[in-house]
């Protein structure tokens, strides 16, 4: 296989792993953000409320932490196959990457430890950390997508620099809020798919509202792009087609959630959460990083040498099928709604 073919395969794999994490980790974030809103009624008493709120978390329990393997694999591919991209991009994104990791650690710990709290006040503080641990990474991933779509400044020495002024722009902030809302809606669709009928109905209603909000904020990002203050796309026709697919996926998810079609709604939100990654990759190809002040970094400039790619391919041929097999097995083993076939986990 030629080096050019290997480059294309590895950048496609990089996008697949990140898109997979957005789909699988996205509903983890979403369920965490919606956790307080899908609890029991106040008059039901603290014991019933605790059980009902655990039912929402039980939807993600069999897959919790296991989905992070996609993020680890994505980081490994970037470090190994695209060292120049990692060396230029990650230092500028350091504050956002740290915020994502802080959210992951706090959220994961809070989900695990909430059930050990012996008072309503203790559970309340763990609930806050659960929401924070879902909302912070979701927002930061959206900011990262917004920065990549818009382009990042490049210094005269060829390195990229990202400052607060590049993050705190209307377009990047709109992308961050849109992604957070989308992940929350994705989590609602997942709860509707996995939970008992009463909780599923509540999740459908909440998810429908979140999808409308996602469309509204996403429209702001689109308007900013149309007026020249948003995304800087290399392949405009491809980008327009992918943006249309994203809008269709959001509309389809809203339609099916509104009518209680849980499987179709979740399939639509899966597509919607994966499409931003495809929009960045296919919309910028052959660039992997766009500069807001001129030419960006091409795939050929970002990738490692051919010999290293060949060695990595031998590992990838074994590793990727194992990840896919593990994910498929876990979904099959824990299929069905919680509360019927499976016990309470948290």
**pLDDT tens string 50-82:** 444 567 787 887 777 778 889 999 999 999 999
For residue 339, is it within any domain? no
Q: Over 60: is that where the pLDDT of 143 sits?
A: yes
The answer as to whether 341 is a domain residue is no
Domain that holds residue 290: 3-333
Instruction: Let me know: does 150 contact 230? Beta carbons within 8 Å.
Output: yes
Run of H or E including 268: helix 262-284
286 cis-preceded (ω within 30 degrees of 0): yes
* Residue matched to tokens 């073919």: 5
pLDDT band at 46 (very low <50, low <70, confident <90, very high): very low
Q: How many domains does the chain have?
A: 1
User: What per-residue string of b and e applies to 313-342 under the rule 16 or more CB within 10 Å gives b?
Assistant: eeebeeeeeeeeeebeeeeeeeeebbbeeb
pTM for this entry: 0.91
Say if 7 falls within a structural domain. Answer: yes
- Of the pLDDT bands very low, low, confident and very high (cuts 50, 70, 90), residue 157 is low
Q: Quick check: is 342 in a domain?
A: no
- Give domain status of residue 184, yes or no: yes
Sign of the Cα torsion 98, 104, 109, 115 reads: positive
Instruction: Give domain status of residue 40, yes or no.
Output: yes
HSE (CB half, 13 Å, CA atoms) of 289? 27
3-class state of residue 270 by DSSP: helix
DSSP state, residue 169: S
Task: List, for residues 8-18, the tens digit of each pLDDT value.
Answer: 889 999 999 99
User: Considering only 60-64, 91-95, 244-248, which range has the smallest mean pLDDT?
Assistant: 60-64
Between 57 and 48, name the one with better pLDDT. Answer: 57
Which two structure tokens, joined as six digits, stand for 272? 């919607």
Largest CA distance in the chain: 67
In a domain, 290, yes or no: yes
Return the pLDDT at 251.
97
Structure tokens at 329: 């097995």
Compute the distance between CA of residue 182 and CA of residue 142 in angstroms, rounded to an integer. Answer: 10
Rounded to the nearest angstrom, the gap between the alpha carbon of residue 203 and the centroid of all alpha carbons in its chain is 19
Residue 153 φ/ψ region, left for φ over 0, alpha for ψ in the -120 to 50 degree band, beta for the rest: beta
What is the Cα gyration radius of the chain?
Answer: 20
Q: Which residue has the higher pLDDT, 89 or 81?
A: 81
> DSSP of 316-328, one letter per residue?
HHHHHHHHHHHHH
Q: Which two tokens stand for residue 41?
A: 């009624």
Of the pLDDT bands very low, low, confident and very high (cuts 50, 70, 90), residue 158 is low
Partners of residue 298 on adjacent β-strands:
287
> Residue 49: what pLDDT?
47
Residue 304's nearest CA partner among 63, 76, 52 is 76
Tell me what pLDDT residue 318 has: 85
For residue 293, the model assigns a pLDDT of 67
Mean pLDDT value across residues 305-331: 86
User: How many Cα atoms are found within 13 Å in the side-chain-facing hemisphere of 74?
Assistant: 17
């Amino acid at each position: 296989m030629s080096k050019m073919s290997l480059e294309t395969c590895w950048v496609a794999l990089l996008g697949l792993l990140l898109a997979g994490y957005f789909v699988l980790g996205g509903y983890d974030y979403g369920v965490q953000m919606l956790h307080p809103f899908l609890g029991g009624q106040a008059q039901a008493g603290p014991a019933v409320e605790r059980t009902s709120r655990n039912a929402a978390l039980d939807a993600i329990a069999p897959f919790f932490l296991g989905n992070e393997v996609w993020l680890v694999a994505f980081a490994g591919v970037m470090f190994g196959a695209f060292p120049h991209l990692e060396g230029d991009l990650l230092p500028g994104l350091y504050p956002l990457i740290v915020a994502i990791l802080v959210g992951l650690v706090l959220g994961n710990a809070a989900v695990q430890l909430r059930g050990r709290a012996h008072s309503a006040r203790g559970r309340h503080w763990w609930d806050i950390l659960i929401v924070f641990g879902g909302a912070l990474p979701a927002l930061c991933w959206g900011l990262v997508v917004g920065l990549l779509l818009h382009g990042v400044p490049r210094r005269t020495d060829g390195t990229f620099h990202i400052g607060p002024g590049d993050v705190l722009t209307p377009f990047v902030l709109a992308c961050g809020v849109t992604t957070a809302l989308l992940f929350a809606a994705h989590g609602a669709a997942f709860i509707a798919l996995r939970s008992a009928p009463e909780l599923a109905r509540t999740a459908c209603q909440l998810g429908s509202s979140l999808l409308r909000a996602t469309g509204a904020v996403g429209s702001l990002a689109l308007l900013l792009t149309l007026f020249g203050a948003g995304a800087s796309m290399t392949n405009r026709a491809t980008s327009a087609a992918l943006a249309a697919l994203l809008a269709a996926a959001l509309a389809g998810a809203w339609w099916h959630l509104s009518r209680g079609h849980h499987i179709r709604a979740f399939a639509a939100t899966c597509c919607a959460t994966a499409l931003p990654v495809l929009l960045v990759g296919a919309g910028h190809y052959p660039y992997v990083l766009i500069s807001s002040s001129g030419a960006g970094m091409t795939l050929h400039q970002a990738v490692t040498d051919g010999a290293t790619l060949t060695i990595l391919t031998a590992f990838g041929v074994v590793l990727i099928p194992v990840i896919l097999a593990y994910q498929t097995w876990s979904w099959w083993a824990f299929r069905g709604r919680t509360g019927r076939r499976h016990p309470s986990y948290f």
